[in-house]
A and B are shown apart, each in its own frame.
Chain A
Amino acid sequence: MAVRDITIGQYFPADSPLHRLDARTKILGTVLYIVSLFCAHSFSALAAAAVMFAVCAALSRVPFGFMSRGLRPVLVIIAFTMVLNAAFTAGGAVLVTLGPVRITSGGVRRAVFMAVRLVLMIFGSSLLTLTTKPLALTDGLEKLFSPFSKLGLPAHELAMMMGIALRFIPTLMEETDKIMKAQTARGASFGTGGPISRAKSLLPLLVPLFVSAFRIASDLAMAMESRCYRGGEGRTRMNAASLGRRDLAAAVILAAYMAVVLMINGSPLA
């Protein structure tokens, strides 16, 4: 288990049209993209989504290899979904019969469909964090949610928490790696044996990890306080983001994309 594999929350520094978009546009765009994936009921609609992703990925100038690293940790979940869907979806010709389970062509179709949808969803959302600096992302979220702060939603606090979580992903990864090596050196073994003994073997990893996460949190709180942090009130920003013509263009493209997906869904192509 390599700990540096997860790219979610990892900004890829580059200068691209996607990087320069306002975070709010990208957040709403990502939400819309995920919604479109759930609206898509046919492979042709998914193909449209895949094309959309490919165009965005090319625009982002993030190397595909870097992006696909974020997929690896969720492969198990995807495989699991595929198996479940294949096994328990009825319809179409029966392909294989395994005891009580009949795998049908409809089931296989559905399994592949779900897998593609999940992969696109992960790729699509990782594009957001790959092209948006965590602070810009949290600023964007804060601004998007600030209308709700009058209703008691702690927009600033949530955004700050998320930003810090993102910042500390690599730190906690390193910490995990360190603890793992220390425990391995003392005879612990990870990733061997059955699922239960594997889960048990995580315990000596999780307990010290939690302890160290709390220590880091307390250190960080102190450092933030000493740098005059006192909540969102009266705070300003160095890079005050503003929506520009670029964001308008992105909104138009996204709306057109959504319309295409819905049209394909309703068309005889589906």
Chain B
Amino acid sequence: MNGSGSQKNIIQIRGLEYSYPPQDDRPAVPALSGVDLDVAEGSFVAVVGRNGCGKSTLAKCMNALLLPDSGSVVCAGFDTSCGETVWELRRNVGMVFQNPDNQLVSSVVEDDVAFGPENLGEDPSEIRRRVDGALKAVGMYELRRQAPHLLSGGQKQRVAIAGVLALDPKCVVLDEPTAMLDPSGRREVMDIIETLRARGTTVILITHFMEEAARADRVVVMDGGRIAFEGSPAEVFAQTGRLEECGLSVPFAAELAQLLREEGIDVPGGIVNAQQLQDHLCSLK
């Protein structure tokens, strides 16, 4: 039962509309209006946008935590609105949330990682194998008997990622996983995202940090519940004006490159990270 047979898109979203239901005195709030998005298998896509632009809602739609009002979301071949396959879908599309504290279920790291495979009803030996594998993949194997509240934010988030990896997903959706972390925690999480990418897992990263988005294969800019524009990081971050309209800035390296260009220094477009800028500036002389 794999997809609609088209090319290898792990996620296909067509005309997705979603409104949060009305509450007490508040009317319904439209969060997504007419989103179309394809994500190729094995790619790393960053979704950026200001607060309230609908990016977290979009992430939750991919995991069937929210169901579309209209339109369709097909992930890993499963339509999210089909109630029977929702668990198959969720084991294939893992989700990591913003607050590392609020997504860990157990008081011991390895038991928390085991939570997912236990829910799937795997054999104890298979669960053990997956838990050890997932913990090693995020570099938390040594701390497997630790209590989560004694870990740093970055470590907690790594445990949360391990908990998702233990489900053996094809795709991992991370909803602002670094928003509550300090710079070193942020680096830890980004390094793991690179590992996931190297393993061929599709990564969808919802983020506020342009430096993180610059590392993706593709950047999707959202504004007002729809996709404003998208492209490779080089293409997206060249459009400073459009980004500012969406309430976003460009990565520091891209901004610096632009300023240098205005000063008449020969810096090509498409520079999005410090390494590229450094390499180019060093080659100038």
Contact = CB atoms under 8 A, between A and B. Distances in A.
A147 to B, nearest CB: 22
Contacts of A219: 97, 99, 102-103
B171 interface: no
B65 A220 contact: no
Interface in A201-227: 215-216, 219-220, 222-227
Interface stretch (A31-39, A67-75, A229-237): A229-237
A221 B236 CA distance: 36
A228 B107 contact: no
A151 interface: no
Interface string B136-154: 0000000001111100000
A134 B145 contact: no
Interface of A: 11, 13, 133-135, 163-164, 166-167, 170-171, 174, 215-216, 219-220, 222-230, 234-240
Interface string B81-117: 0000001001100110101011111111011001111
A238 B65 contact: no
B87 A230 contact: yes
B87 A133 contact: no
Given A219-B103, A238-B124, 5 more contacts: A219-B97, A219-B99, A222-B65, A227-B163, A234-B121
A164 B112 CA distance: 11
A226 B95 contact: yes
Contacts of A215: 102
The 3 A-B pairs at the shortest CB distance, nearest first, are namely A223-B103, A219-B102, A170-B149
Contact of B107 (A135, A234, A236, A240): A135
B122 interface: yes
B41 interface: no
B119 A230 contact: yes
B194 interface: no
A55 B56 CA distance: 54
A229 B119 contact: yes
Contacts of A134: 106-108
B106 A135 contact: yes
B24 interface: no
A225 B108 contact: no
6 contacts: A11-B147, A167-B107, A227-B105, A227-B167, A238-B131, A239-B111
B106 A163 contact: yes
A222 B131 CA distance: 21
A135 B124 contact: no
Given A13-B145, A219-B97, A238 B104 contact: no
With a 10 A CB-CB cut-off, give which of B60, B106, B119 has the most chain A CB atoms. B119
A238 B97 contact: no
With a 10 A CB-CB cut-off, give which of B105, B108, B149 has the most chain A CB atoms. B105
A236 B103 CA distance: 20
A220 B103 contact: yes
Nearest to A234: B121
B110 to A, nearest CB: 8
Contacts of A225: 65, 90
B123 interface: yes
